Amino acid sequence: MSDNNNKPRAREKHITGDGSGVHIRGEGLSHNSSSQQIKPEASASNTNVKRAAIGGAGAGILALIIAFVQMFTGGGASGGGDDPDGYTADKISEVNRTVADGSREKRTVIKGDGKDTVTIMVYMCGTDLESKHGMATNDLAEIAKAEYGDNVNIIVYTGGCSKWKTSGISNKVCQIYRIKNGGLVSLKADDGDKVMTDPKTLTSFIKYCTQNFPANRQELILWDHGGGSVSGYGYDEKNKKSGSMDLSGIDQALKDAGTTFDFIGFDACLMATAETALMLDKYADYLIASEETEPGIGWYYTNWLTKLGENTSMPTVDIGKNIIDDFVSTCNSQCKGSKTTLSIIDLAEFANTVPENLVGFSKSVSGKISGKDYKSVSDARYKTREFAASSRIDQVDLVNLAENVGTDESKKLAEAVKGAVKYNRTGGKMTNAYGVSIYFPYKRTSYVDTACSTYSRIGLDDEYSKCIKQFASLETSGQIAAGGTGSAAASLFGGLSSGSSGNADAIGQLLSAFMGGGRSIEGLDDSNTGFMKDSALSDEETAQYLSQNYLDAEKLVWNEENGSYTLELTDEQWKLVHLIDLNMFYDNGSCYVDLGLDNVYSFDGNKLVADTQRNWVSINGQPVAYYHTDTYENGDEYTITGYVPALLNGDRVKLYLVFDNDNPNGYISGAEYDYDDETETAAKTMTELNNGDTLEFICSCYSYDGEFIDEYKLGEPITVSDNMQISNTDVGSGQLRLMYKLTDIYNCEYWTKMITVD
């Protein structure tokens, strides 16, 4: 929420020219029997050891690797015109070398004076990151360029990929390689067609390394997709139905391997979580991981490995600092504007200081909810830095959340977490990211039961499970009281709300019906609503609380005067609103084109003033379907993020746009590939577009009967260049249908009545 009268912040529009207007083309993208080509009546606008070295027979693998290094480190287009201001600087902490009293001794004993031997195990599930983009090949090349002696062993396990970009690495079976003297040495040419998200596969690799390459310092790096607290690590492209390796699976793999590590690192997204850290304490001294999705280039390996080769007795926090500095600096150089994070966490200290304080925090949050102060918890959660926001995985920065909650117990938790994070660095204007995230439901509650089941298996204290169950229960109850989350279609096609109108008796009846099996909330059914049994309040208390803290949908009525539309609510009602977005549909003469959601509006006192101008978010003058995902404010600084569905060189992506106080007109920060729900883990984003790439925009279309028709290409293809412009341009002469979406403290969505603009 903005500090301006507690109202959500609106995006500033930059209006330019007439633009090309809204027009769709071609057949529906589903290409099934129901797809059709829409032609508007009135268009708005028309192994044995085998060494592969550089040179000689079998040199193809390294030659191709080097070629990919050159390709990926070459110049590219930022996609946003001039480089965004302020993104060469980043948030750098000091290395914290202290350890809290009572923390266990480190399991890895460093000999000193360069006498240490190091074995680095890289578990590289190449997946589509490699088959489509050569990201694994690029990182193998970076490792091959590093300089180190015989006292450093780098062993790589490859698999999980349908097509490696290098000749020599098998697309059919898993393999084991050693990287030495700039070359790849094949140690095991056929380890079977194993599933890389199977804990047994990881266990066998670790055992192979410990038996064949003993060392007093052992490091493990898991390379692939990451999903964090709920879905864990990995996506095997060849075994798409096998799912990810969740935290309990990783726990089992490490337990069965029977060894411990100096550090365990994730060159994968979203794995710097409290749950990961607490689970890993039994197996490692440090965790190195990212809170946010990683940029596509991932870790940069050459420099930190060379430094480790120069001094194998280097303190682990310094190894971590070098990894973090190389990663963030490279991302700042090649992926400007990316939300980059990486931290090193002392697991011994984390396990010593955080669990007790997490219990205290959990009890304080439960106390707020039991004391009928759910709203302050919801407000705190909404304001907290969230990671992979568009994926709705509900991971937020733990320090930021605790400080926002503001209890004495939460402040102690924040200090404990800060103490255990020994070095943390973020890129660009990434704020409120302190190095450790945690799962806290808000965007969707369907993961709560799964998360709590994982917590039970990895030994996380029950108080935190109780806390999030209570929050999720009251949030879901708020959605039930409103008749379920709303939809744009209800407003667009004249549907009516089926909510309770804030009446306590009616709310009680809706809650009873839901718990009796009459499920009405999207994504929830008998399989994932066990958390509803752990409500902090009785049914009567819940109904009474909701009746007193309820956004009245009947008040969402526009007052029209001289072509201006306003919607007035009381201060108390506006305080229940977290988010406001304009939803625009364009009538092209044959269907409604959904142009998405944009947080544009203004206020006159307590009156929301609708934006009825005939323009929309455009790229190079072409209107696009834009969906606002999140807004973060830190004093006078703000960052507004949204995405545009598109095809990038024929592959489906979310093209991310960022607007902030340094770049109010916005810029393209990168593209994230769409995986069609094949995995719940997140991909490293390809954050840099290259000059000459082709972008084709996508939109959804609806019939006049309210039926979804299909997705279509929107406008003409554009070629990526260095001077791409984001602005608002005219949509054309077709009729507009406008609604505002208001999201309340229960994450319940309400659409206002429709405004027609001819």
Q: What is the share, in percent, of the chain residues with pLDDT greater than 70?
A: 84
pLDDT digits (tens, 9 = 90+) for 526-545: 889 899 999 998 989 999 99
User: Which residue spans within 590-693 are E strands per DSSP?
Assistant: 592-598, 602-604, 607-609, 615-619, 622-623, 626-634, 637-648, 651-660, 667-673
pLDDT digits (tens, 9 = 90+) for 598-615: 999 999 999 999 999 999
Computed over every residue of the chain, the mean pLDDT equals: 87
Radius of gyration of the chain (CA): 27
Provide mean pLDDT across the span 196-212.
98
Domains, the chain: 24-42+559-757 (no CATH), 116-356 (3.40.50), 478-548 (no CATH)
What is the model's pLDDT at position 686?
54
What is the model's pLDDT at position 132?
85
For the cut 60, the answer to whether the pLDDT of residue 45 exceeds it is no
pLDDT digits (tens, 9 = 90+) for 357-371: 999 999 999 999 999
Alpha-carbon distance values, 46 to 24, 42, 103, 644 (Å):
9, 9, 69, 22
What are phi and psi for residue 219, nearest 5 degrees?
Answer: -125, 145
* 370 three-class SS: helix
167 — pLDDT class (breaks 50, 70, 90): confident
Provide mean pLDDT across the span 500-504.
63
Specify the higher pLDDT residue, 480 or 421: 421
pLDDT digits (tens, 9 = 90+) for 705-748: 888 999 999 999 999 998 899 999 999 999 999 999 999 999 99
pLDDT digits (tens, 9 = 90+) for 542-582: 999 999 998 988 889 999 998 899 999 999 999 999 999 99
Label the pairing between strands 667-673 and 622-623: unpaired
pLDDT digits (tens, 9 = 90+) for 661-694: 889 999 998 888 876 555 677 777 655 688 999 9
Q: Are 466 and 534 in contact (CB under 8 A)?
A: yes
Residue 581's nearest CA partner among 557, 597, 565 is 597
What is the model's pLDDT at position 524?
87
pTM above 0.85, yes or no: yes
Q: In what order do the strands lie in the sheet with 622-623?
A: 622-623, 615-619, 726-730
Label the pairing between strands 118-125 and 152-159: parallel
DSSP 164-209: -SSTTS-SSS-EEEEEETTEEEEEES---S--TTSHHHHHHHHHHH
What is the model's pLDDT at position 85?
36
For the cut 90, the answer to whether the pLDDT of residue 228 exceeds it is yes
Determine the Cα–Cα distance for residues 681 and 249; give it in Å rounded to an integer: 15
- Chain centre to alpha carbon of residue 161: 23
Determine the Cα–Cα distance for residues 376 and 83; give it in Å rounded to an integer: 39
What is the model's pLDDT at position 487?
66
Determine the Cα–Cα distance for residues 395 and 388; give it in Å rounded to an integer: 8
pLDDT digits (tens, 9 = 90+) for 92-104: 668 999 999 999 9
Specify the higher pLDDT residue, 722 or 176: 176
